[in-house]
A and B are shown apart, each in its own frame.
Chain A
Amino acid sequence: MEKSFWNIYKTFFKVGTLLLGGGYVILPLLQSELVDKKKWSNHDELCEYYALGQSLPGIIAANMSMFVGYKLTGQKGAFAAVTGIISPAFLSIILIAKILEELINLKFIQSIFWGVGIGVVILVLLAVKEMWNKSVIDKFSMAIFLAAFLLSCFKVSPVLVIISSAFAGILYYIIRENRKGCEE
């Protein structure tokens, strides 16, 4: 499929429509649309953009979409991606804003909400598996993974985790280079 403005917008509009239960499912949805179906990207890239998206302020799903859009066709792509991902949210809220209170008290809406929660966890787990395959490749990355998991469980800010892990990566590289230098 051609990477035109309209096609990028449509693709992200579709992902935006399925973006239920918070923005976290953005990664599995993009994996399915962009890697499996359209072959516009690969798991490695998405994994990187997901991490980068977390280190910037704002809405992660939007950040990640903009990174991917930019990668596809530059600024135009970023614009198409972000408007696409936001449009379904925008339209659906305008439709239901007036009846919000009535809606939230409907029993069957609460049941759907409960059910979707299960599907969302499955999708997030599948994304973790995919990311794991691409990023946890040796002892060092395993240690970073565990540290990030634990710190996040203790409510340390994700930005702090992402930024310190980037520094850890650089530090590890410098140490390794120095050791090589000594051996030679």
Chain B
Amino acid sequence: MIFFKLFWEFFHIGLFSFGGGYATLPFLYHIAEVQQWYTAKQLTDMVAVSSITPGPVGVNVATFAGFTTSGILGALVATTAVVLPSYVLVIIVSKLLEKFRENKYVQAAIYGLKPAGCGLLAAVAFRMFSESFSIFGTLIFLILLYISFKSKRDPLFYLGVSALTGLVAGFFHLT
């Protein structure tokens, strides 16, 4: 029965949380209240851990909730449930796009939604920047930004360098 419940709750999140990432949070906190799968405190920890473990927050929490309630199988059930609704939708939209890509109205719609996607991502960057940075952090940020203008580098370079910087900064209490 627990598997069915897990599936149901996370299927819900997959189907109704629009806007990605942190849009799943209200749903996840709601689950913490109505089910005993994890506490609100555990969820908050989970979100923090998510930023240094691979993968999207939603998947991390689904896996965590499934695993703590009923082991690996539970983790599989919850994780599958959270991506299943959008899997079906993506296949449908992709098929429609294949068929109607040459359509003038579809092209006009895509022409409108691309700059909007860009604007949304710019807002994410702005929010991330304004939320967190200290003076030392801003300095590192500017150095990395300068490097990125000078030459093209692998994303791994930026993540690695910034993680190392974090370690060093933590050691000297600069964070």
Contacts and interface: CB of A to CB of B under 8 A. Distances in A.
Interface of A: 16-25, 27-29, 32, 36, 47-48, 50-63, 66-67, 70-71, 75, 78, 82, 85-86, 88-90, 92-94, 96-97, 100-101, 103-104, 107-128, 131-132, 134-136, 141-142, 144-149, 152-153, 157-159, 161-162, 165-170, 172-174
Contacts of A158: 18-20, 23, 120
B68 interface: yes
26 contacts: A16-B54, A22-B50, A51-B114, A54-B120, A56-B86, A58-B13, A58-B15, A58-B86, A59-B82, A78-B94, A93-B67, A100-B42, A100-B64, A114-B166, A115-B163, A115-B164, A115-B170, A117-B137, A120-B162, A122-B158, A135-B114, A145-B119, A148-B119, A162-B116, A170-B109, A173-B104
B40 interface: no
Contacts of A19: 54-56
Contacts, number: 363
Nearest to A83: B83
Contact of B87 (A20, A51, A82): A82
Contact of A110 (B85, B105, B110, B170): B170
A124 B160 CA distance: 15
Chain A contact residues, majority secondary structure: helix
Given A86-B55, A162-B117, A119 B159 contact: yes
A127 to B, nearest CB: 6
B46 interface: yes
B59 interface: yes
Which of B15, B109, B169: most chain A Cβ within 10 A? B109
Contacts of A146: 119
Which of B54, B57, B158: most chain A Cβ within 10 A? B54
A11 to B, nearest CB: 14
